[in-house]
Chains A and B, each alone.
Chain A
């Protein structure tokens, strides 16, 4: 989380790093004891993994995205961050898939001792956080540590994380961050922001600091003053990216749209396609739902409480003694979409969608959240059909 001290004026810290500077950045962060996580090319995807050096960045790789479609492709240049969201997001590190929350031991006299899991002190540095994903982190912050009950383990990981945003200059065909107001330019909340520039003048990064620590690290790296050509090129590339979004959301109050379309016919249409597999919830950078597992060892006197990701598409998600509240696929898809775009506002005072497009890409049947929102909007404009018997 950014330090509490007033952040430096980002522009006054602007400088240019070349590839050597990026290498030095990874080295410096590691030297400071941080686990640096960034994009790598492996297993046919851009995968977030620990970086030992900046060499591991996916230089020269891009991605081809469509609904239900993801392919890496070689670029004709050596850009390192000219790809959009991969299958994971930063929640894999901040809000891991599976975590032990407590252990309990039972003494022969029936006494119980419960010990909270002390999260191992972690000090992440995330290199290559897209602006949409920065917003996603901030949205999860509200859920996990923004309310009355704070999740200590999340807070521990989050507080220690150093965020290096890389602005988007190459949006994917499934991106719609402009509609959601989250990108492609970096918004506050980062420690460092980078814009990758590659032209006749070379391969370099316009860098700005958002926090004192960011400024201090930037200062320690080989860098040169920001020149006008780099500044202009960086700004133009990001502006151009804003105009090349592959998708849009309907330009309406989405919260009101979703609140008013709970009975829409469209839910039946999408339910006929949706497999309720939950891929969208796993890939979504803001989906936070979890379930608990209680296990014991063979003696029965040592118990553990684990928490793992769960999806609102799971049948048991709404289980009550009489059965599941949301027993149909229609109601489960509707829950996901209305929560994401609508009721998230009521619960956490923001949208739950950042426009990263992951749910579109990783849906096995190519359901597209933007297409569904447009369809709901269209249906909401149609005159309400009255329920009447048909004359025979």
Chain B
């Protein structure tokens, strides 16, 4: 269903960090078609409005979303009580397309809340280790308290998983610095690597440049982009980025297409 939201029940709404919450939703009746990692849903807070939110988890037929309350709708969604219902439309947009990276080393680079859309990709990659080469997960956050899903990376275990923060507190014994500095620790053969990058646009550009410099082919750097979105069905015109309609041609785009577009100011 893409035109009208389907009711989903809020199964849980737990704090993820000080300013983000993770909602788990289950269909009340009819369920939406399956989402692929990297795709997004339009979440409707009753009477307030709708916003695009990537799926952050896809287990057992539930939809998991992690969001930060920065606007009227996201604040309303962050405040929903378990048991109440929200509207969901989707799935929309391009996914990360893990199958296209079959046989290649995987480099997952997340900045801040950008880890949320990458989480189902990591879970998919962990469940099919034989389909690809080495898995590397690089996570950057503002402070140690802002790291999402803190209990999970330990369970991810086997692959290289590095975390770094911009500002360390006294308890932090890990890396301090931008996320690209973790690339030195990652194990990958650049021209045989597919990178999946999500975070603020400045972080995407900095990471894209660094990966290109290291020899990862531009079309194998998959980045997830964000623009204003109202309909998610290609009809409202808001999410244009030059030739792209990000709800349709994105949000995940090859860096070969994204780089020249991101270089134009106010495109």
A and B touch in the complex (CB under 8 A): yes
- CB–CB B228/A144 < 8 A: no
Is there a chain B Cβ closer than 8 Å to A335's Cβ?
yes
B17 at the interface (CB under 8 A from A): no
CB–CB B3/A116 < 8 A: yes
72-109 of chain A: CB within 8 A of chain B: 101-102, 104, 106
Which residues of chain B in 236-267 are interfacial with respect to chain A, using CB atoms and an 8 Å cutoff? 236-238, 240, 242-245, 248, 264-267
Q: Tell me the complex Cα distance, A263–B266, Å.
A: 11
Q: Which residue of B lies closest to A327 (CB)?
A: B266
Asked if A331 is an interface residue, CB under 8 A from chain B, the answer is yes
Q: Would you give the shortest CB distance from B264 to chain A, in whole angstroms?
A: 5
Interface 9-mer from B44-52, B166-174, B189-197:
B44-52
Q: How many Å from the CB of B69 to the closest CB on chain A?
A: 10
A325–B266 Cα distance when bound, in Å, is: 5
CB of B114 within 8 A of chain A?
Answer: no
Which one, A148, A151, A289, contacts B237 given CB within 8 A?
Answer: A289
- Residues on the B chain within 8 Å of A112, using CB: 7, 28, 46, 85-87
Contact between B5 and A292, CB atoms less than 8 A apart: no
Q: Who on chain B is nearest to A296 by CB?
A: B47
Given A147-B248, A320-B226; A111-B28 close (CB under 8 Å):
yes
Q: At the interface, yes or no: A224 with Cβ under 8 Å from chain B?
A: no
Residues on A with beta carbons closer than 8 Å to the beta carbon of B71: 321
> Which residue from chain A places its CB closest to the CB of B264 in the assembled complex?
A262
**Interface majority SS (helix, strand, loop, mixed), chain A:** mixed
Which of A162-170, A179-187, A311-319, A375-383 is near enough to bind chain B? Answer: A311-319
Mark A196-208 against chain B: 1 for CB-CB distance below 8 A, else 0.
0000000000000
Q: In the complex, which residues of chain A have a beta carbon less than 8 angstroms from the beta carbon of B245?
A: 347
Given A149-B2, A152-B3, A296-B47, check contact A317 B238 (CB 8 Å). Answer: yes
Query: Which residue of B has the minimal Cβ distance to A294?
Result: B49
Tell whether A149 pairs with B47 under 8 Å between CB atoms, given A102-B4, A327-B266.
no
Tell me whether B84 and A114 are in contact (CB under 8 A): no
**Chain A CB within 8 A of B235 CB:** yes
* Contact flag A289-B50 (CB < 8 Å), given A112-B7, A114-B7: no
Q: Does A121 contact B (CB under 8 A)?
A: no
CA distance A61 to B240 in the complex (A): 41
State A172–B104 Cα separation when bound (angstroms). 60
A101 touches B3 (CB 8 A): yes
| Contact flag A312-B237 (CB < 8 Å), given A319-B228, A321-B71 | yes
Q: How far is the CA of A112 from the CA of B49 in the complex (A)?
A: 14
Measured in the bound complex, the distance between the Cα atoms of B70 and A262 in whole Å is 32
B175 within 8 A of A: no
- Nearest neighbor of A297 in chain B, beta-carbon distance: B47
A265 to B110, CA, bound (A): 38
Chain B residues with CB under 8 Å of A342's CB are 243
Q: Are A149 and B46 in contact (CB under 8 A)?
A: no
A327: B residues at CB distance < 8 A: 266
Answer yes or no: B186 CB below 8 A from chain A CBs.
no
Which residues, 64 to 108 on B, are CB-close (under 8 Å) to A?
Answer: 70-71, 81, 83-87
Chain B residues contacting A114 (CB-CB under 8 Å) are 4-7, 87
Which of A151, A291, A300 lies in contact with B233, CB distance below 8 A?
A: A151
State which of B50, B228, B244 has its C-beta within 8 Å of the C-beta of A325: B228
Q: Is the CB of B234 within 8 A of A300?
A: no
| Chain A neighbourhood of B228, CB < 8 A | 317-320, 325
Q: Which of B28-73 contact A (CB under 8 A)?
A: 28, 44, 46-50, 70-71
A335 to B235, CA, bound (A): 17
Q: Of the candidates B7, B85, B230, B234, which one forms a contact with A148 in the assembled complex, judged by CB atoms under 8 Å apart?
A: B234
| B47-A116 in contact (CB<8A) | no
- The count of chain A contact residues (Cβ–Cβ below 8 Å) is 52
A42 to chain B, nearest CB (A): 31
Shortest CB distance A357–B (Å): 22
- Chain B, residue nearest A103 (CB): B4
Contact between chains at A104 and B87 (CB < 8 Å): yes
Given known A-B contacts A106-B46, A152-B3, A294-B50, A318 and B227 have beta carbons under 8 A apart: yes
The yes or no answer to A12 lying at the interface (CB within 8 A) is no
Q: Is B212 on the interface with A (CB-CB < 8 A)?
A: no
Which residues of the other chain, B, contact A262 by a CB distance below 8 angstroms? Answer: 264, 267
Query: A111 — which chain B residues lie within 8 A by C-beta?
Result: 7, 28, 85
Q: In the complex, A339 Cα to B239 Cα: how many Å?
A: 12
**A158 on interface, CB distance cutoff 8 Å:** no
Q: How far apart are B180's CB and chain A's nearest CB, in angstroms?
A: 22
Q: How far is the CA of A152 from the CA of B7 in the complex (A)?
A: 20
What is the bound-complex CA distance between A147 and B248, given in angstroms? 9
Q: How far is the CB of A116 from chain B (nearest CB, A)?
A: 4
- A339 nearest CB neighbor, chain B only: B240
Q: Are A110 and B84 in contact (CB under 8 A)?
A: yes
User: In the complex, A300 Cα to B22 Cα: how many Å?
Assistant: 25
* B183 in the interface (beta carbon within 8 A): no
Given A318-B227, A320-B226, A343-B243, A291–B236 Cβ distance below 8 Å? yes
* Set of chain A residues within 8 Å of B86, measured between Cβ atoms: 112
Alpha-carbon distance A297/B57, docked complex (angstroms): 34
In the complex, 12 of the A-B residue pairs with CB atoms within 8 angstroms, ordered by the A residue number, are A102-B5, A112-B28, A149-B3, A262-B267, A291-B238, A295-B47, A317-B238, A318-B238, A320-B228, A328-B266, A335-B240, A347-B243
- Residues on A lying within 8 angstroms of B by beta carbon are 101-102, 104, 106, 110-116, 143-144, 147-149, 151-152, 262-263, 288-292, 294-296, 300, 303, 305, 307, 310, 312, 317-321, 325-328, 330-331, 335, 338-339, 342-343, 346-347
Residues of B within 8 A of A (CB): 2-7, 28, 44, 46-50, 70-71, 81, 83-87, 226-228, 230-231, 233-238, 240, 242-245, 248, 264-267
Q: Given contacts A112-B46, A319-B228, A346-B242, could you give 4 more A-B pairs where the C-beta distance is less than 8 Å?
A: A111-B28, A113-B7, A149-B235, A151-B3
